[in-house]
Amino acid sequence: MIFKSKYPDIKIPEVGVYQYVTSNPKKISDDKVIFIDGITGKCCTFGEFKHESKKFAAGLQEKLGFKRGDVLAIFSPNLVDYPIVLLGAIAAGGKITTASPIYEETELSCQLIDSGASVLIVHPIILETAIKASIEAKIPSSRVLLFGDKEINGYKPYRSILINDLEIEPVYYTPEEVKTTTAYLPYSSGTVEKPKGIELTHKNIVANLAQGANVDLTLGPDSIIMGILPFCHIYGLNGIINATLIRGATVVVLPTFSLKTYCETIQKYKINHLYAIPPILLSLVNDPSVQQYDLSSVKTALSAAAPLSDELAKNFHEKFKIPVWQAYGLTEASPVVTHSDTTKNTVPGSVGVLIPNVKAKILSEDGRELGYNEPRELWIHGPNVMKSYLNYKEATANVFDKDGFFNTGDVLYVDEQVIDAAVIGHFSEEEKTEVPVAYITIKSEYEQSQALAEEIQHFVNEKVASRKKLSGVKFIDKIPKNEAE
């Protein structure tokens, strides 16, 4: 059976991302502060954001010959200037690919090469990695620019090269172009297979923002959001940066998580909305030092990006008297698919209901549509679902069925000794969320051993970022598959 949202379908605006997020439906003034650096206190108002992003767009076009369809990469932790670069490149007609600041050289160079990035904007603290990766990707040093205001080893700040008084009108897209033109090009995590570029169109991004606005009714000009979730991920890109702009809210930006700084920031800036992941909520619940801070300004908390245990949700609610809403999504869906109904009490263990315009079905291993209470693979359909995987026509074809429903499952193959392997989430009681575990089938001529398991784990962990590292390796006789695999 096909499951449909309880919400009525909405009309999705047929405009580009930049035009949509700056359309100002909440009628905020240009001097309204939108972004605040939680460490330095540096602020960016709505008016400053619009001017600076259009100046950045002009500089890209004038100084670097950046053209419609070109790709700009961002390699940085969260910064107040991140949205200016992000949406400035969009205003110039470009595509954006964002890379995790914890990437190693190989991971970054692979993304730069695969995405076709021609410009790289990087934070100074990870410049060394960026230089090595950009050389591998054949991006000239003159097109590798820095956040901040200091030149380092000949690499110049983007502001000194691109920003002057010239502004441009953001590139316009027709309704048909909105449907087909890629705006964001984030990459899959690579936890279960080689990372793939996920082509999210202007329509995908705008659709998910519009869908979210009809579900989460609490976010608006009075909202002060904690901006700790990585802007390089779609949760941060669309769920925080873009949502903040279209809703007229304020986001306090932090580059990394430290419980002390997190609590100090809530107290100082009177944060009232937490966008979090389970490990953050776990720290707030379990660490006794939290009691010394005044966190009474917080009125709502949303957990996403990883499973939230019923126990943790219950403990958080009991300690702070705040309900924890949940959302389920994935990068391919821009990202939100389901969201708690914010007008009702939360349901333990539930990730909410389908957002407007989204349909879903549950399929058995043999492709039969299942009904209620029959857990199997989730397939989704909606205007927020990606266009395709970049450079992966076959993979794209394999994840969509004939009716346009997208399969949300993931599988990974590793190592020449291995016939087959899958990395899945294993629930960690200590962290109260899932951590990667590799399930591996080896060739008959090799013996299962602890030494081999450790060798495989070491091999994988040397090549991936810390959050992707395997917590264990287990040998099994056969990897379960569905028909598409």
Which range of 138-147, 207-216, 345-354 scores highest in mean pLDDT? It is 138-147
* Backbone φ and ψ of 47, nearest 5°: -65, -45
Same structural domain, 201 and 254: yes
**Quick check: is 402 in a domain?**
no
**Quick check: is 156 in a domain?**
yes
**Quick check: is 142 in a domain?**
yes
CATH number at residue 40: 3.40.50.12780
The pLDDT value given to residue 140: 98
Residue 415 has pLDDT above 50, yes or no: no
With DSSP H G I counted as helix, E B as strand and the rest as coil, what are the percentages for the chain, rounded to 5?
Answer: 35, 20, 45
Residue 484 has pLDDT above 70, yes or no: no
Q: What is the dihedral of CA 290, 295, 300, 303, to 10 degrees?
A: -20
For 17-40, b/e burial (b = at least 16 CB within 10 A) is: bbbbbbeeeeebeeebebbbbbee
In angstroms, the Cα distances linking 202 to 105, 197, 217, 380, 435 are: 30, 16, 23, 19, 32
Same structural domain, 423 and 276: no
Residue 65 has pLDDT above 60, yes or no: yes
The domain boundary residue, chosen from 357, 378, 399: 378
The pLDDT value given to residue 310: 86
- Band (pLDDT 50/70/90 cuts) for residue 340 is confident
d(C-alpha 78, C-alpha 37), whole Å: 9
- What's the average model confidence in pLDDT over 390-409? 92
The domain boundary residue, chosen from 350, 378, 406: 378
The pLDDT value given to residue 419: 32
Same structural domain, 466 and 341: no
Same structural domain, 295 and 439: no
Same structural domain, 327 and 440: no
- Band (pLDDT 50/70/90 cuts) for residue 443 is low
Same structural domain, 97 and 228: yes
d(C-alpha 96, C-alpha 70), whole Å: 9
**Quick check: is 42 in a domain?**
yes
The pLDDT value given to residue 423: 43
The pLDDT value given to residue 462: 63
- What's the average model confidence in pLDDT over 384-411? 89
Same structural domain, 281 and 333: yes
pLDDT in tens, 87-110: 999 999 999 999 999 999 999 999
The domain boundary residue, chosen from 354, 378, 402: 378
CATH number at residue 462: 3.30.300.30
pTM for the complete prediction?
Answer: 0.84
The pLDDT value given to residue 420: 36
**Quick check: is 412 in a domain?**
no
The pLDDT value given to residue 144: 99
- What's the average model confidence in pLDDT over 384-407? 95
Residue 111 has pLDDT above 60, yes or no: yes
Query: Considering the chain, what percentage of its residues have pLDDT values greater than 90?
Result: 69
Among the residue ranges 267-276, 375-384, 420-429, 459-468, the one predicted with the least confidence is 420-429
d(C-alpha 357, C-alpha 68), whole Å: 30
The pLDDT value given to residue 108: 98
- Band (pLDDT 50/70/90 cuts) for residue 304 is confident
Structure tokens, 282: 């776990």
The pLDDT value given to residue 40: 96
Residue 210 has pLDDT above 50, yes or no: yes
Residue 59 has pLDDT above 80, yes or no: yes
**Quick check: is 117 in a domain?**
yes
Same structural domain, 313 and 203: yes
Residue 279 has pLDDT above 80, yes or no: yes
Query: CA angle at residue 282 from 340 to 463, to 5 degrees?
Result: 95
- What's the average model confidence in pLDDT over 245-267? 97
Average per-residue pLDDT in the chain? 88
8 A C-beta contact, residue 382 and residue 33: no
The pLDDT value given to residue 370: 75
Same structural domain, 55 and 125: yes
d(C-alpha 467, C-alpha 435), whole Å: 9
**Got the DSSP string for 333-381?**
GSSEEEE--TTSPPPTT---EEPTT-EEEEE-TTSPBP-TT---EEEEE
d(C-alpha 379, C-alpha 404), whole Å: 9
Residue 473, CB-side half-sphere exposure with 13 Å CA sphere: 23
Same structural domain, 300 and 426: no
* Backbone φ and ψ of 249, nearest 5°: -85, -175
3-class DSSP state for residue 59? helix
Q: What is the dihedral of CA 176, 177, 179, 182, to 10 degrees?
A: 170
Residue 13 has pLDDT above 50, yes or no: yes
Same structural domain, 354 and 445: no
Q: Is 291 exposed, middle or buried (0-12, 13-18, 19+ CB in 10 A)?
A: exposed
**Quick check: is 234 in a domain?**
yes
Same structural domain, 183 and 245: yes
Domain that includes residue 87, residue range: 3-23+30-378
8 A C-beta contact, residue 99 and residue 111: yes
Q: Please tell me the total count of domains within the chain.
A: 2
- What's the average model confidence in pLDDT over 414-437? 46
Give Cβ neighbours of residue 372 (< 8 Å, ≥ 6 apart): none
